[in-house]
Chain A
Amino acid sequence: MAGTVTCVVCEGTVALPENCGLGEILVCGDCGTELEVVALEPVRAEEAPQVQEDWGE
């Protein structure tokens, strides 16, 4: 999947990776905000949740 999404914090343009999926994390190159892809058609991203205590391997 090509294309872009708009950063919800700074309104910068963030490129989408190939095969972008729900739950994927993008980093805004302008402001550094972590964004989570929450919808695909059309693509929509929100601020990603903070890392939780039980996240990891």
Chain B
Amino acid sequence: MSRLRILYSRLRAEEKQLFAAAEAKGIPCSLEDIRTEAWRIEPNETDVFLCRCIGHLQNVSVARMLEAGGARVVNPSAVMELCGDKLATSAALAAADIPQPAFRAAFSEEAALEAAEQLGYPVVFKPVTGSWGRLLALASNRETAEAIVEHKAHLGAAHQVYYVQSYVEKGGFDVRAFVLDGRPLCAIRRTSGHWITNTARGGRAENQPMDAELRSVLERVHGAVGGDFIAVDLFLTRLGWLVNEVNDGAEFRNSSAPTGVDIASAVVEACTDLMKREKRGDKRGLKRSATLCGTSSPGA
């Protein structure tokens, strides 16, 4: 009997909801803290892995190990890598001609300031890796940009790739939309008095109806980025939707109630479909399934 194995490194509400949803549906499932075992590649025929580790590098690393043996991982490591790098995501969106805020990449302090001048103030400096709005910096003028760039010079190698994005006047809200198995699932509107509207920073969530235009944008994003379950952040401007970021490890605890969509149940159902495909040997071109050694340690 194949299982759904939910991997984590810090147990959040989402992982507990996913496990509870799987149990409620009678899906063979385990909840495993990846830190409790030494892992090695070992053949396995049918298990599907839902990688939910809070640390991007650990999540990608365990996914790569699993895939090396042919296991089906949600999301695939290539999608994690793309979404985990904001510059890579923007490049993929640009290649697909998907609307997004104007941005520049720079690799020196001087070039970062030149990027800001090219875009015109205000601009946002973003770390290429990171989440929850961490270390985002809004520069309204040259003096602020100089201070930000000087500080970033002391933050280590990851901050020497300067991602500079035009600040978008978004009317106090942005939209977080979930795409499951290539299809738009639901969306919330996040409102905040702060320019960063992330609900992890206190933004309020309400349902965002999905019209044909939004659905079309989301389907195009999925076409460009891929992934089984992704969360797309967008701005609604007078020019239409702009895609801001794409997340591979979506947090959804604040989204099920306002949308009325049981996101955890939908995700585990999609994983069940994958498990059936694995059982049938329909790997969509993937290699033979394999798993790592590591005893499951259900935490709930």
User: Contact at B16–A57, with CB atoms within 8 Å?
Assistant: no
Q: Does A24 contact B (CB under 8 A)?
A: yes
User: Contact at B55–A55, with CB atoms within 8 Å?
Assistant: yes
Q: Which of B9, B16, B20, B130 contacts A53 (CB 8 A)?
A: B130
User: Contact at A54–B57, with CB atoms within 8 Å?
Assistant: yes
User: Contact at A24–B56, with CB atoms within 8 Å?
Assistant: no
Q: Does A40 contact B (CB under 8 A)?
A: yes
B297: nearest chain-A partner, CB-CB? A22
User: Contact at A53–B11, with CB atoms within 8 Å?
Assistant: no
Q: Does B263 contact A (CB under 8 A)?
A: no
Q: Does B8 contact A (CB under 8 A)?
A: yes
Chain B residues with CB below 8 A from A56, complex form: 54, 56, 130-132, 134, 200, 249
User: Contact at B56–A21, with CB atoms within 8 Å?
Assistant: no
A23: nearest chain-B partner, CB-CB? B11
A24: nearest chain-B partner, CB-CB? B11
Measured CA separation A40–B16 after assembly (Å): 16
User: Contact at A21–B299, with CB atoms within 8 Å?
Assistant: yes
Chain A residues with CB below 8 A from B36, complex form: 22
Q: Does B129 contact A (CB under 8 A)?
A: yes
Q: List B residues 1-59 near A (Cβ within 8 Å).
A: 8-11, 15-16, 20, 31, 33, 35-36, 54-57
Chain B residues with CB below 8 A from A23, complex form: 8-11, 33, 35, 299
Q: Does B77 contact A (CB under 8 A)?
A: no
A20: nearest chain-B partner, CB-CB? B300
Q: List A residues 1-57 near B (Cβ within 8 Å).
A: 19-25, 36-37, 40, 51-57
Q: Which of A20, A22, A37, A55 contacts B54 (CB 8 A)?
A: A55
Enumerate 22 A-B pairs (CB-CB under 8 Å) in ascending A order: A19-B16, A19-B20, A19-B300, A21-B300, A23-B10, A24-B11, A24-B16, A36-B10, A37-B11, A51-B134, A53-B129, A53-B130, A53-B134, A54-B57, A54-B84, A54-B130, A55-B131, A55-B132, A56-B131, A56-B132, A57-B248, A57-B249
Closest 8 CB pairs of A and B: A56-B131, A21-B299, A57-B247, A22-B299, A23-B11, A54-B56, A21-B300, A24-B11
Spell out A's residues near B (CB within 8 Å): 19-25, 36-37, 40, 51-57
Spell out B's residues near A (CB within 8 Å): 8-11, 15-16, 20, 31, 33, 35-36, 54-57, 84, 127, 129-132, 134, 158, 200, 231, 247-251, 297-300
